[in-house]
Structure 1
Amino acid sequence: MSDWHSWAAIAVFVGTYALIISEKVHRVAAALGGAGLMLAIGATDDVSAFYSQDSGIDWNVIFLLLGMMMIVGVLKKTGLFEYLAIWSVKKAKAKPFRVMAMLIIITAAASALLDNVTTVLLIAPVTLLVCERLALPVAPFLIAEVLASNIGGTATLVGDPPNIIIASRAGLNFNDFIVHLAPLSALLTLVLIAMCRFLFRKSFRYDEDRAAEIMELEEKEAIRDPRLLIQGLSVLALVIVGFVLHPVLHFEPSIVALLGAGLLVAVSTVQTGEVLAEVEWPTLAFFAGLFIMIGGLIDTGVIGEVSKALANAVGDKEQGGSMLILGASGILSGVVDNIPYVATMAPITADLVHSLGGDSDHVMWWALALGADLGGNATAIGASANVVVLGIAERNGTPISFWQFTKYGLVVTAATLLISAAYIWLRYFTLG
């Protein structure tokens, strides 16, 4: 890493990250500015930024978000989210903590079958309406759901994009993730609920008058366009089936989402302009800038050097190595988006597994998956779902600051990584 490009790329990334944290510059402006500087100093170029699978913009993520945002935009016009908001509040007897617990469980379960970004896109509108009805602060509920989405996404191959990369490199299938990670994901979801009871205790204000008003509402009356609702839910169901059958159909989630969005716009009477107006364009721009900046770190060899140093530290010690990969991945994924990190670390992990004799339980891979997936909860930009929810909150007039998210995310990340370390140690080295 003697090339000046490497040090310049680090300086640009650190400076941009500092601006995002300080919030003196809007995060979209900071990310796009940082991307421009990466291109200007030659840390990356237009070919790498726009066409490289390893170090360019992850168009699968961008177009997955675009497609799902369009579908959600159509569903908003049906009254579905108002229906779900009233239904969930009534089921929870309008008790704020019960509502949060219910939303956490729904989010974690959905994130295991869909992906965490799609899940928060569907759950966030319901949450905004629930909080409005009960006069509750929005931020704690949205933050809890993001944390739940990243935890739930660890359970399956399709739950979080890094898992797909790991499965491809390690030769793992859908059932392998269910057997090895789903039990831990369920446990961590329960731990998250217990932690939220403490972390957000000041937010659970019970308003008897508002609760009584909601309990008297008839949720069916919230549906404004039954025909459009049937069309929207039918397309959404097809999209979900496409996501779940990814190992069989081999269609990327982005393709499935775009096909679904196109089909829904074609069969419904909703104007295309109305649908596109619901898309969170600043969020997509932020992701593009972030991917280009990280691509600069990859192209200049910075991330590769970090990964190799980690591999050298592991050596031939499987137990200590798995713990080191878990911890280091958790820390790095809180700073660098976990998708390019895992893409860089996967071949190095494969070499480690080979040098250690094959590793029949794939413990190194599970450590990498847990560290990358759970580490994304650490900061406001650690995972795609985090950025999406921050964009939704800002658009709805209830912005969540970097530090407001991160002060809770760090606590939850530390707790879940410690429990994951204990799980790995017990299952693969003590009981296994």
Structure 2
Amino acid sequence: MTAIALVVFLAAYVLIATEWTHKLLAALGGAGVLFALGVTDPDHAFYSQETGIDWNVIFLLLGMMIIVGVLRRTGVFEYVAIWAAKRAKGSPLRVMILLTLITAIASAFLDNVTTVLLIAPVTLLVCDRLGISPVPFLIAEVMASNIGGTATLIGDPPNIIIASRSGLTFNDFLIHLTPLVMIQLLVFVLVLPRLFKGSFAADPDRVEDVLRLNEREAIQDTRLLIKCGVVLLAVFTGFIGHAIFHIEPAVVALLGAGLLILISKVPTKDYMGSVEWQTLLFFAGLFVMVGALVKTGLISDLARAVGNATDGKPLLATMLILVVSAVLSGIVDNIPYVATMSPVVLELTKNVTDPAHAHALWWALAAGADFGGNATAVGASANVVVIGIALRAGHPISFWEFTRKGVVITAITIIVSAPYLWLRYFVLS
């Protein structure tokens, strides 16, 4: 069964990467083959938290897509787009830096997917106003969201899993990972001009037109905007305080969407038309295939091999976990990977006497898994969502177009992370 699950996953991955067929067909086809061959079953695929579809991700996406669909009617995205372009004085590079920093900061306090769902419409509008391709901007923003989400316990789902296994607190993540993320963002901003060289030429006439615009005139429905603002504030409060309220972010998003539909009375076709159904189904198929790898024990075997290869040396273990986590998280979703790897790290920490060295193992897992999500187009949930939005807007992003940039950024972030972990936990501790 393990061999079958691996072959089906690799075949689907090749189809997605080469774009020989639509990624949705590859994902659902792969899931269908696994069901037909008995590698997985409805109990494992639909009801298991470890090996099944992550319904929290699916319904979080659905709820936020509906909220964004209602919010779009207010004109607020036009407002933010014009505001950002004017603050950047029409410079596409400055616009990219501004939007990526906003995305990174927001991703530290909100789910990455929620952040990119909110920032992508703004990006599409500002690029349309300036007459430039939004593709480099969308890629840069989703990478910034994966980097920024590493900073806090709630910024990325793998961090929540790590915290529950290790006993680390919200403040621990702030103290240990936020400084690393700040360094990564500085390096990321410096790399942007070279990474997207040739993407910053705007029509001077279009720039002048944008600078003459009054962003306040973009707001089309003030009353609806106020209603959306109240609901979004409540939703964001729920996201940030979900550990206190014991309400899953997906439930918060669905409640917010339902409340906004109720009080806004927006026509059904307006908000349902904003739902990226292909993206949701793609996620479902991908979760089934990755869940089959977890069910057959393949991911667990890989994780334990990493633990055995370290031979009780904390520094070697830290660097190996960092690199392997980055590589595997670029191939499979980092949530099931971290869920499988965290017990292995926990076992490793039991044999480490120095608390700083033990902490280093957990931070290596978090950094590798979170930063590794940038490596490929399917490495993180936010990547898939942005690619779906871009396709729907008429600006398709190919698997390799994303991955060529993503591998570079992942390599840079891991190279920066390695000396940070070494210096802070093995030299200065």
- Do structure 1's residue 413 and structure 2's residue 403 form an aligned pair? no
How many angstroms apart in 2 are the aligned matches of 1:390 and 1:230?
30
- Do structure 1's residue 371 and structure 2's residue 391 form an aligned pair? no
Amino acid at match of 1:289: G
Alignment partner of 1:121 out of 95, 117, 133: 117
In the TM superposition, 1:32-181 aligns within 5 A as: 32-181=28-177
- Cα offset for 1:359? 3.2
- Cα offset for 1:402? 0.2
How many angstroms apart in 2 are the aligned matches of 1:83 and 1:226?
12
Q: What secondary structure is seen at the aligned counterpart in 2 of 1:202? A: coil
- Cα offset for 1:170? 0.7
Amino acid at match of 1:97: L
Q: What secondary structure is seen at the aligned counterpart in 2 of 1:291? A: helix
The answer to whether the 8 A contact 1:16-1:30 is kept is yes
The answer to whether the 8 A contact 1:43-1:297 is kept is no
Q: What secondary structure is seen at the aligned counterpart in 1 of 2:379? A: coil
TM-score by length of structure 2 reads: 0.98
How many angstroms apart in 1 are the aligned matches of 2:315 and 2:160?
24
Alignment partner of 1:185 out of 156, 181, 206: 181
- Do structure 1's residue 196 and structure 2's residue 192 form an aligned pair? yes
- Do structure 1's residue 398 and structure 2's residue 411 form an aligned pair? no
Q: What secondary structure is seen at the aligned counterpart in 2 of 1:381? A: coil
How many angstroms apart in 2 are the aligned matches of 1:139 and 1:327?
28
- Do structure 1's residue 268 and structure 2's residue 264 form an aligned pair? yes
How many angstroms apart in 2 are the aligned matches of 1:387 and 1:358?
40
- Cα offset for 1:37? 1.0
Q: What secondary structure is seen at the aligned counterpart in 1 of 2:312? A: coil
Q: Which moves more between the two structures, 13-22 or 269-278?
A: 269-278
How many angstroms apart in 2 are the aligned matches of 1:268 and 1:98?
36
How many angstroms apart in 1 are the aligned matches of 2:246 and 2:49?
17
Amino acid at match of 1:422: P
Alignment partner of 2:300 out of 301, 304, 323: 304
Amino acid at match of 2:66: M
- Do structure 1's residue 425 and structure 2's residue 428 form an aligned pair? no
Alignment partner of 1:321 out of 317, 321, 343: 317
How many angstroms apart in 2 are the aligned matches of 1:186 and 1:383?
20
Alignment partner of 2:379 out of 379, 382, 392: 382
- Do structure 1's residue 353 and structure 2's residue 349 form an aligned pair? yes
Amino acid at match of 2:394: G
- Cα offset for 1:31? 0.2
How many angstroms apart in 1 are the aligned matches of 2:359 and 2:249?
26
Q: What secondary structure is seen at the aligned counterpart in 2 of 1:201? A: coil
| Alignment correspondent of 2:276 | 280
Q: How many residues align?
A: 428
TM-score by length of structure 1 reads: 0.98
Once the two structures are aligned, what percentage of the paired residues are identical?
59
- Cα offset for 1:405? 0.3
Q: Which moves more between the two structures, 351-360 or 331-340?
A: 351-360
- Cα offset for 1:274? 2.4
- Do structure 1's residue 292 and structure 2's residue 255 form an aligned pair? no
- Do structure 1's residue 340 and structure 2's residue 336 form an aligned pair? yes
How many angstroms apart in 1 are the aligned matches of 2:288 and 2:242?
27
- Cα offset for 1:358? 7.0
How many angstroms apart in 1 are the aligned matches of 2:33 and 2:341?
25
How many angstroms apart in 1 are the aligned matches of 2:97 and 2:254?
32
How many angstroms apart in 2 are the aligned matches of 1:329 and 1:22?
24
The answer to whether the 8 A contact 1:231-1:264 is kept is yes
Amino acid at match of 2:400: W
Stretches of 4+ moved more than 4 A in 1?
none
Long gaps (5+) in structure 1? none
How many angstroms apart in 2 are the aligned matches of 1:212 and 1:294?
49
The answer to whether the 8 A contact 1:103-1:145 is kept is yes
Deviation per residue, 1:387-413 (Å, 9 max, x gap): 000000000010000000000000000
Q: What secondary structure is seen at the aligned counterpart in 1 of 2:355? A: coil
How many angstroms apart in 2 are the aligned matches of 1:126 and 1:185?
24
Deviation per residue, 1:344-373 (Å, 9 max, x gap): 111111111112247356111110000000
Alignment partner of 2:19 out of 1, 23, 30: 23
